[in-house]
Structure 1
Amino acid sequence: MFDTIIIDNNSQEIQYCFPGNNLSCFKDIKPKVEYAVLYVFISLASVFTVFLNLLVIISISHFKKLHTPTNLLILSLAVADLIVGLIVIPLMGIRFIESCWYFGETFCSLFVFIIFIVVTASLGNLVFISVDRYIAVSDPLRYTVMVTTDKVVCCIIINWLCCGIYSVIILHNTMFYPETHDRCYGDCSVSFNFEHFVTDLIVTFVAPSSVIMSIYVKIFCVAEHQAKVVNSVAGVSRSQRKAGKTLGIVVTVFFMCWIPYYIVTLIEGNASTESIEFNVTCWIVYMNSCMNPLIYALFYKWFRISAKHIVTLKILNPSSEYFSLFLQERFVSGLCPSTLKV
């Protein structure tokens, strides 16, 4: 399929992505076993991510009991993660394995835009979820008044719009003036100057991380205070411990996925070639999209029950949207029911 050139010095075969183009990029040659292993991994990662997030989307969209403000935020997060599993992971996988971009310059610009908007939207959803949890824990009696479905929908729309505008601004040259980038034909990458990199670092990591960390610290403080005040109610203590454990997992996974990427990026700077370390940290960030439904849904009974209904096709039954998903949950005194349906 590709023309082959022999390098006399090293007797090493080099292939071109587009042999008919003088500006074509070189194609890396990998062993057949490595190709097979990588394609299996990419396929499983994509299917697993799509499947988990589809379960969350179908559950929240279908069952009336799950139409709560908090679950709308989880739905928005699942949509962003679904796009990652459906588009980003497969195409980035092909680009990584083949070391070539075969989908054209125009789609390259669109693809980079999709990556930026879904990643930033996912981070924005995490921030809104942390704010929602803080209100639910700190002021449960007024939670239903302060957090309504209409307000949450507005926040979701604003989040996606802001992420789209930011992505267009930060990728302006890449999207509208790709010819200004010094790269070979068959490459699809983004190169930032130092100012753009610092801006992206602040917007997509420093700012959301600071907000999330400060809110979670406040949540832990409020939960500890409430446990001391109402320690005679065993249910409250159990609920707070469960909330603390889940939030701890959220924070830990979030930073485990993003910190390595930014450390490698800071060390390497605007390197002309992508290192193994950079590719590995990028994939860790992408894999966070299949971890999110596990963190925000799989730990809760309503997801396990709704997933069972979906897999067994019980949702096709008449009036299945009214199935009760909380039969095994008990109302905890002093907490709003909405805080239990997360």
Structure 2
Amino acid sequence: MVVNMEQCVMAESTVPLLNQRASPGTVALRSSASPDPAGHWEEPSFTVASKVRVVATVCLFLFACGSNWAVLASAARKGRKSPLRVLILSLSAADLLVTLVVMPLDTVWNITVQWYAGDAACKLLNFLKLFAMYSSSLVLVVISLDRQAAILHPFSFTSAGQRNRNMLAVAWAASAVLASPQLFLFHLQKASGLDFTQCVTMGSFQQHWQETLYNMFTFLTLYVMPLSAMVVCYSRILWEISRQMKEDRGLVRSNNDHFSKARMKTLRMTIVMVVSFIVCWTPYYLLGLWYWFRPEMLREIPEYVNHTLLLFGLLHTCSDPVVYGLYTPSFREDLYACWGRLGSGLTRHRLAHRPPSLSFLNVQDYGLTADLSVHGSVGSVTSNGTAVQTGF
């Protein structure tokens, strides 16, 4: 992940890999290597692969920003009291945080190549980046726990709202705590003999094993543990559904059991969201693991591989609102209503600024006034004059 795999190599050096052009969004740029036989250093540049990554990230940003704002507005509407509503609100907020922090930071950093924003921004933005990724993962865990309780303990529905709020508070607080080391690890470092400054963790660890331990801890808490919790929750859910279906009672008593069908539909939606998280982020995490155990792999894989896997991971912030829209009729109704209001507003705007039509001629004699009918082709004549209206 952008806050995981790259972080593990930023600590090594502010000097880029020798004779390897890479964008600052890649792990290669912010890592180091021993000098080549010729002893030449090549400063990183804004490569073609980096430019493609920037364009793709901007497209993802526009879609994720608009779609997650739409979900946030729809779920926040008054009168919708479903216990799942507050969970969807938090997931949309977490996805928006990733969209508004990770994507712009990655885009600008790729363009500028080095860091120009100062030491305070270096610390704060890297903290927010990791905080956003933690919140997205942990909110999905909370949703999984909520679905497990809804299926395994259906009669606890009345306390679900308070339970979800408590779990979300813990998830957001844990995200802040787990991301807080970034405030102390990241700092500015200037390359020796070069006009090149980078935001790195170099020098923050006294021993290499300490750095590896921190990276593995981040990997476990950011990906492995949340994924394990989701898998356990949905495995228990599917086992319970299978058991009750065999006993012909409980969850799906009949095709007309509206509550059960609604619950199963919500369950399918959350499962798809979790699967999307796994599919989008797993390849990039595996690449990070590969680097930790074999750092020289950076020279063996093409630059575009890292770019592609990161973009595929960021695609997860776009998939959540799409899945929510597919499984939530009220969200689609809100979109149609918003689109209708937008179309009506544009139509009124065009009519208000349209120049007078040449198909209607109003002839006014001296001080005589005419009150033209809005819908008819004949004007209403006032008592003090006449108006002649000719339609073509």
For the pair 1:281 / 2:309, whether they are aligned, the reply is yes
- 1:187 is matched with 198
- 1:26 is matched with 43
Work out the CA distance in 1 between the residues paired with 2:81 and 2:201.
39
Please give the TM-score of this superposition, normalised by the length of structure 2.
0.64
Decide whether the 8 Å contact of 2:46 with 2:111 is kept in 1: no
Work out the CA distance in 2 between the residues paired with 1:281 and 1:265.
11
Q: RMSD value over aligned CA atoms?
A: 3.5
For the pair 1:260 / 2:271, whether they are aligned, the reply is no
Structure having the larger proportion of residues in helix = 1
2:180 alignment partner, SS class: helix
Decide whether the 8 Å contact of 2:135 with 2:175 is kept in 1: yes
Work out the CA distance in 2 between the residues paired with 1:37 and 1:209.
31
Decide whether the 8 Å contact of 1:174 with 1:181 is kept in 2: no
Shift of 1:256: 1.2
Matching residue within 331, 334, 350 for 1:303 = 331
2:333 alignment partner, SS class: helix
Work out the CA distance in 1 between the residues paired with 2:46 and 2:219.
34
Decide whether the 8 Å contact of 2:50 with 2:110 is kept in 1: no
For the pair 1:130 / 2:144, whether they are aligned, the reply is yes
Work out the CA distance in 2 between the residues paired with 1:180 and 1:37.
28
Decide whether the 8 Å contact of 1:25 with 1:187 is kept in 2: no
- 2:236 is matched with 218
Decide whether the 8 Å contact of 1:46 with 1:85 is kept in 2: yes
Work out the CA distance in 1 between the residues paired with 2:124 and 2:326.
32
Q: How many residues in Structure 1 have an aligned counterpart in Structure 2?
A: 288
Inter-CA distance 181–154: structure 2 relative to 1 (3 Å threshold) = farther
Work out the CA distance in 1 between the residues paired with 2:191 and 2:239.
50
Give the alignment of 1:193-212 within 5 angstroms: 193-212=211-230
Inter-CA distance 184–65: structure 2 relative to 1 (3 Å threshold) = farther
Kindly provide the CA deviation profile for residues 132-178 of structure 1, in whole angstroms up to 9, marking residues without a partner as x.
Answer: 1111122223312x312x43333222221111111113x25324x55
Work out the CA distance in 2 between the residues paired with 1:309 and 1:285.
32
Inter-CA distance 193–232: structure 2 relative to 1 (3 Å threshold) = closer
Work out the CA distance in 2 between the residues paired with 1:25 and 1:87.
30
Inter-CA distance 278–173: structure 2 relative to 1 (3 Å threshold) = farther
Decide whether the 8 Å contact of 2:72 with 2:89 is kept in 1: yes
Work out the CA distance in 1 between the residues paired with 2:90 and 2:267.
23
Identity among equivalent pairs (%):
22
Residue 154 of structure 1 aligns to which amino acid in structure 2? Answer: N
* Greater RCO structure (CA 8 Å; 6+ sep): 1
- 1:111 is matched with 125
Residue 166 of structure 1 aligns to which amino acid in structure 2? Answer: L
For structure 2, the 5+ residue unaligned runs are: 1-18, 22-40, 203-209, 343-392
Inter-CA distance 172–25: structure 2 relative to 1 (3 Å threshold) = farther
- 2:73 is matched with 58
Matching residue within 57, 68, 83 for 1:42 = 57
Work out the CA distance in 2 between the residues paired with 1:313 and 1:189.
48
- 1:147 is matched with 160
